[in-house]
Amino acid sequence: MPRTHLPFGKIVATPTPIAWSQAYGAGGLFLTLSLTSEEREHEKELGTLGKKLINDLEAEFFALEEKSLTSIKAAIDNTFFHIPPEIKLSAAIAFVKEHILYVYLLGNGSILLRRSGTLGTILKATHAHEGAMQTASGHLQSGDLVILQTHQFEALIPEETLTKTLVENETAEEIAETLSPLIHGREDGGAGAIFFTFSQIQTPLEEEDETSDELLSPAPSQPETQQGKAVPQSPFPDETRSFPHPALPQEEKQRIPSLPSFSKLRSSLPPLSHRQRLLMSIAAILILVLGVSIFFANKNAEEKRTKEVFAKIYDPAKQHFEEGQGLIELNTALAREELEEAQSIIGNADKTLPAGSREAKQLATLKTDIANALSELASAKQTSVTPVGVDKSKLLGALVSDKKRLFATQDEDNVYFLTKDEIGSIGKSDDAEKTLVENDGDWSKPSGLGTFLGNLYVLDKEDGINKFVKGSEGYGGKTAYLTGEKPDLSQAVGIAIDSSIYVLFLQGDISKFTRGTPVSFKVSGLDMPFKSPTRIYMTPDFSAIYVLDNGNGRIVKLGKDGVFQSQYQAAALTKAQDFEVDETNKKAYILSGGKVYEMKLE
C-alpha cells in the first residue's frame, strides 16, 4: 500500500501582550491557532493557555481508538470548551488518514485547498459566533496543498499575495519561507498558518511485486479502477500495513569482450588490401564504442534506479525522523512511534546499495541517527537523591512520625492519614491533629487513601472503594463509590484522584473510574513494563500521573491518557515506601527506610 507523505511548513508571528499564536504538525494532525485579548495583563496567560490547549488536544486526539469526523469533533470540543470568555480563539485543524481529509474551523479563519494550480476554499468564517465550529471532510489527491490560517494571518496576507506565492512556489516549505518575512516583525501576534502537501509514495516492494506479476502473467491484466464515492462520514478504513523493503540488487559489472589484435588477424588471414584493413579497423572501433556505450548505459540505468529507490526510502524515513525529533519534548510515545517507523522504512537497505556510494553513506548515517535517538529516548534519566529533613514533605512526614499510619494523602490545607482504627488529619498551618472517621468495620484490608473536594476515599481490597462525605458536622458514614459489578481489587496497591479515580495494581495495570463506572484506560509507550509498582500520585491540578515503579527503580510520568512521557531512575527507589511530587518546583520526595530524600525532576 502506498505511504502517505505529508511535508509541511509553518509560520507563526512574534507574540505580543494581547495576541499569541502557534502551529503544529505531527502524526497526520495539523493545526494553527491564535489567542487574543483586549487586556494586556493576559500576556503570560495567553502563552500558557495556548500550550496547554495543544497538549490537551494532542492527548484527547491520540487517545481516540476510532478516529472519525464525529469522534475528532468531540475531542476538539473537550479541549476548547473551557476557554475564558475574555479570550478570543481562532483555530483551524486538519487530520489526514490515507487519502481522507477531515477539517475543523473554530472562530474566524479559513482552510484552503490548492489542487492542479487552482485555489479553493473549504471552510471560512469572518463573523463566527463564539464557540461555533464548522466541519468538512473529503478525498485528497496526490499533489494537493492544504492551507490552515488564522483570521489575523488572512488580514496580513491578501488573497492576491497568497495566490501569487502559491504559483511561484511548489512545496509547503518554500511557501512558508517566502511568506514568513511578511509576518515577522508585524505587530499582530495572532497571525499563524501551516501549509502541508499530500502525496502517496509507492514502496519499492510494491513496484517489485507489480513487475513480478507482469512477468508471470500469461497475458496483460486490466488495471483495477475504483469508482468515485461520496465523502465518508464513518470511521477511517483499516490501518495501512507496513511491509519491509526488499533488498536492492548489487550493481552487476559489465565486461567488454576482448577483441583480437590486428597482428593475429594478419597472421591468420590472407593478405588484405588497404581498403579491407581500413574497413576492419573501423568495424573494430565501432564494436569497441558499442561495447563501451552498452557498459555505460547499463551503469547509468543502474545508478538511476538506485537513486530512485534511495529517494523512496530516504525521503519518507527522514520525514518520520524529523517529526519524531520534534515530538520528543511534547510526547515521547509519539516520538518513539515516528522514530520506529523511520527505522522500519530503512531496514537493511543501506547494506544492499553499492558499497561506498553516496546513497549508501547517507542512508547509513540516517540509520545511525535514528538508532541514537531511540536509544536516548529509551534511557531513563539517572537522578541522584539527597537526604532532607521530614519538614520538606508534610505528607511523608506524617507517615514518618507515626508507624501506625499506613497511607496518607493531602489537599491544600490538610494532610490526611489512615490507620487500621481511624482516618485523621493534620493541619498544614498549625499541625493540629484530628480524628475524622473511626473504623466501625468500614475497612479491613486498606490499600490506599485519597481526597477530592474535601471528601475522603478508602481503597479496600475486599470492600471496594468507599466514600466518606464531609458535612457541616463532620464526616458521614461510608457509601460505596463503585456502581455495578465490583472489580477484583485483591492486587490493588494505590489510589490517586482528580475528577476520576485511578487504581494501581501490583502487576502494573491502572484502572480508571469516573462517577463510579469503569472507563477505558491503557498505559502505553513504556520501554519496559512496570515491575511491582507500589504507589500512584497526582493532584487535581496535575496534568500528569506519577507511578513509583519499585521493581525497575524509577518514577514514571504518564499523561492523563496513559501515554508515557518520561522516567527518572535512582537506586534508592527500589526500596521506597511512598513518594510525593512537587510539579511547581520540579522535585520529588521519597520515603525510604524511615528517611525522606529529595530528587530533582529535570
In sequence order, the 6+-apart residues with CB closer than 8 A to the CB of 168 are 178
Starting at the edge strand that comes first in sequence, how are the strands of the sheet with 385-388 ordered?
Answer: 385-388, 595-600, 587-592, 578-582
Q: Is residue 273 part of a domain?
A: no
Task: Give the separation between CA 91 and CA 110, rounded to whole angstroms.
Answer: 9
pLDDT at 244: 35
pLDDT at 380: 56
Q: Is residue 387 part of a domain?
A: yes
Residue with cell 511557501: 175
- pTM to 2 decimals? 0.47
Strand pairing partners for 125?
A: 109
Cα-atom radius of gyration of the chain, to the nearest Å?
A: 33
In sequence order, the 6+-apart residues with CB closer than 8 A to the CB of 329 are none
Going 146 to 149 to 151 to 153, the CA torsion angle's sign is: negative
pLDDT at 601: 87
Concatenating the DSSP letter of every residue in 562-602 gives: SBEEEEEE-GGGGG--EEEEETTTTEEEEEETTEEEEEE--
- CATH code for the domain in which residue 444 is found: 2.120.10.30
Strand pairing partners for 135?
A: 104
Query: What value does the mean pLDDT of the chain take?
Result: 83
Task: Give the separation between CA 317 and CA 309, rounded to whole angstroms.
Answer: 12
Helix (H) or strand (E) holding 474: strand 474-480
Going 229 to 231 to 233 to 239, the CA torsion angle's sign is: positive
Under the phi-then-psi rule, with left for phi > 0, alpha for psi from -120 to 50, and beta for the rest, what region is 532?
left
Q: Is residue 228 part of a domain?
A: no
Q: Is residue 233 part of a domain?
A: no
Starting at the edge strand that comes first in sequence, how are the strands of the sheet with 414-418 ordered?
Answer: 407-410, 414-418, 422-427, 433-438
pLDDT at 216: 30
The model's pLDDT over 519-567, given as tens digits with 9 standing for 90+, comes to 999 999 888 899 999 999 999 889 899 999 999 999 999 999 999 988 9
Task: Give the separation between CA 59 and CA 73, rounded to whole angstroms.
Answer: 14
Instruction: Tell me which residue range forms the domain holding 527.
Output: 382-600
Q: Which three cell numbers stand for residue 252?
A: 552487476
Q: Is residue 259 part of a domain?
A: no
Task: Give the separation between CA 521 and CA 510, rounded to whole angstroms.
Answer: 7
pLDDT at 321: 87
Among 183, 201, 219, the domain boundary falls at 201
What is the CA angle 367-373-375, rounded to 5? 100
pLDDT at 209: 43
pLDDT at 271: 67
In sequence order, the 6+-apart residues with CB closer than 8 A to the CB of 366 are 314, 317, 318, 321, 342, 346
- Which residue numbers in the chain have pLDDT < 50? 205-266
Closest CA to 303 of 347, 343, 222, 358: 358
Residue with cell 482504627: 421
- CATH code for the domain in which residue 130 is found: 3.60.40.10
In sequence order, the 6+-apart residues with CB closer than 8 A to the CB of 276 are none
Among 150, 182, 201, the domain boundary falls at 201
Under the phi-then-psi rule, with left for phi > 0, alpha for psi from -120 to 50, and beta for the rest, what region is 128?
beta
Query: Could you give the number of structural domains in the chain?
Result: 2
Q: For residues 172 and 195, is the Cβ–Cβ distance under 8 A? A: yes
3-state secondary structure of 517: strand
Q: Is residue 128 part of a domain?
A: yes
Helix (H) or strand (E) holding 6: none
Among 179, 201, 223, the domain boundary falls at 201
The model's pLDDT over 233-260, given as tens digits with 9 standing for 90+, comes to 333 233 333 323 333 333 333 343 444 4
3-state secondary structure of 103: strand
Concatenating the DSSP letter of every residue in 38-102 gives: S-GGGHHHHHHHHHHHHHHHHHHHHT-SS--HHHHHHHHHHHHTT--TTSEEEEEEEEEETTEEE
Query: Measuring CA to CA, how many Å separate 373 from each of 6, 8, 128, 377, 529?
Result: 22, 22, 44, 6, 20
What is the CA angle 500-504-506, rounded to 5? 170
Q: Is residue 513 part of a domain?
A: yes
Q: Is residue 594 part of a domain?
A: yes
